[in-house]
Structure 1
Amino acid sequence: MPNTAKLRKRLIKKLEELFQLDQPDLDFGFYRIMQTKALQIKSFIDKDLLQIIEDAFGQIDEARKAELEANIARELEAAKEYGVADPEQSPKVMEARAMYESLRDGASAEADVYDHLYRFFERYYDDGDFVSRRYYARESAGKAAPFAIPYNGEEVKLHWANADQYYVKTADYFSNFSFDISQAAEIRKMSKDVKVLNGIPETPLKIHFRIIDASEGEHGNVKESEDKKRFFVLYEEMPIEFYDSGELVVNFEYKSLPGGKNDVEPETEKALKEKFGKSLNKGDMPNLAITHKIIEAVSQTEKGKEYLNAMNLYAPTDKIPNRPLLAKYINQYTARNTRDYFIHKDLG
């Protein structure tokens, strides 16, 4: 079983993920609020919460632990010198062991608290969403997770896994998507020397994705027909612009396309396959094509030159090892505004 330090570290990592402290690059909505409070939240997680647990169980003093171990050894040696038939059963040795076990039990109880807290948050939070998973045991490759459901003795009980969640349809929900690409995880892990080598400035590089025009689609929970399906495309009249502050703005449209498909041109498909590999998935091509157009447009401006190195850094995936960092954010943006999702009812 992992020791107390490892379990504590695992809990801290989960809480940082839950409070979005691992995404300082995103700069809009909920993310912006969390970043303004990041230092306070970080302090609570790293210090206050752990201190509360340590105070409750008593912090395990490693020096005290070593002292008790040495005491056991001394009593054993003394029992042997006095000729005790079974030194381990000597009252003095048993008393010394009892004191040591008491200290160790305290450490075990503290570790259990970290483990239970981690399992609780893991159950209700997964990959950016708060979900309700009432399982007794984790799902494994050979066995599904047994769930607990509300039951009042009915002969037949029908239950939906998302019974205590709200369905949120995002088809007509649009908002600006802002981020500081210089704070991307791929850049934050670089040393200063590596940043200089890659031409990454120390100043923020904020980018805003904005919807200029969105055609009207189906309302409510009506599913769009294939020929009316809408897609994100660059706003051709002005794909990019800059605020007076020098921050980059990328303009999008969300509209239906002929045939209800978002296929790239044959020449573009050929160029993308040459750059990213012949096994490139067709579904990845539109966003990669958008990425290429944005980078090309930015490269032709004086203000945008400082953005180029960061945009072109690799943010690899299993299938696209040389995916540009900008493409990662375009994928996040388009997915955020086109996927429906469930949210726990207490967080609605």
Structure 2
Amino acid sequence: MLKLLRLALTAAIVTAIAVRLRRRARMPGKPPAPPAPKAAGRTRMGPVWGAIAGVVVLTLAAALIPTGPQALSELRAALYQAEQSAMTVAMDARGKSPAPVTPTPGPAMPTSAMPTSASVTPAPTPLGPTSAPVMPTPTPLATTPATTASASPPGIPAACMLSGPATVRPISPRVRAAVNRQWRRIERWLRENAPRTYASLGAPGRAGTIALAEAQTGLELPDDLRASLLRHNGMSGPPAARFSFGGEQVRGVREIRDQWRESCALRVGRGDPIGRLVRVGTMIEVDADSGHVVASMVGPEPIWPSYHAMLRDLADALEKGRPVFGARATVKGGLLRWSDAR
């Protein structure tokens, strides 16, 4: 634009100089007396300035009105800039090189020469927004022995593999508080005197696991035994480091169920009725009907009236040094040991 203005001003100056030189060439040698001012003088200069203005207008018009090649060049430049802008926007949106832009059909390009949509539009990927939703593969549910009869251990008859509805039964708050009180006494003594044995105490059991074991055995465990299993579901770690009393290991829910199945298989093999005793240790058992703790291999008489009474005597044996099952508690290397009380 600045060049156009300079060109117009130059043309105007050149025209003015040419007019002035022409006027001087017509003047005589001596300047005549200045004529009286007439209005015609002004009239004579009007066409001059009109000519100058016309030259300026023509120059500007010639500069501003593009020719055919110039218009085509400017159009191509504008199209190129638009295409580059579109490509830049596509790169910012996709984070990669954009697909080639489809040209608009014009006189020089027939519609038949246009690329098809298949060559321009990328095919959707399986995870793309235009693909059909992929249904997740269902995860098979884990089967339990209660629902799978073929999962029975070898040698266990079907009569000892019961499968019924598992129902979580409530526990008397009074019984649960009493059992937890005895376990706190045992835990405190082990933590202070036998820390390695204290570390073997199992994690709390689950009410659903206990209910499932009851459904698989057809027995209802006493409240104090269930409350104890909810406090510590058996023991963990090496057998030599596990908590025991008088050589009796404290078993978990699944160990109790498996032991009952083995005992049930022996009874069925002998033709005896299925027992109601639940083995909770090496020898001691809990009667599911009365709740008594017995040792049927030694005698039919109850050893303790309940599982809670057994835990109370065990806590007394640890705190007061009393014997249990003819053995007294000792500690060696942070482990609880039972020695002969005699």
Decide: shared fold, TM above 0.5.
Answer: no
* Bigger radius of gyration: 2
Give the TM bin, normalised by the shorter chain.
under 0.3
Q: Tell me the TM-score normalised to structure 2 length.
A: 0.19
Give the structure, 1 or 2, with the largest relative contact order (CA under 8 Å, sep 6 or more): 1
Q: Tell me the TM-score normalised to structure 1 length.
A: 0.19
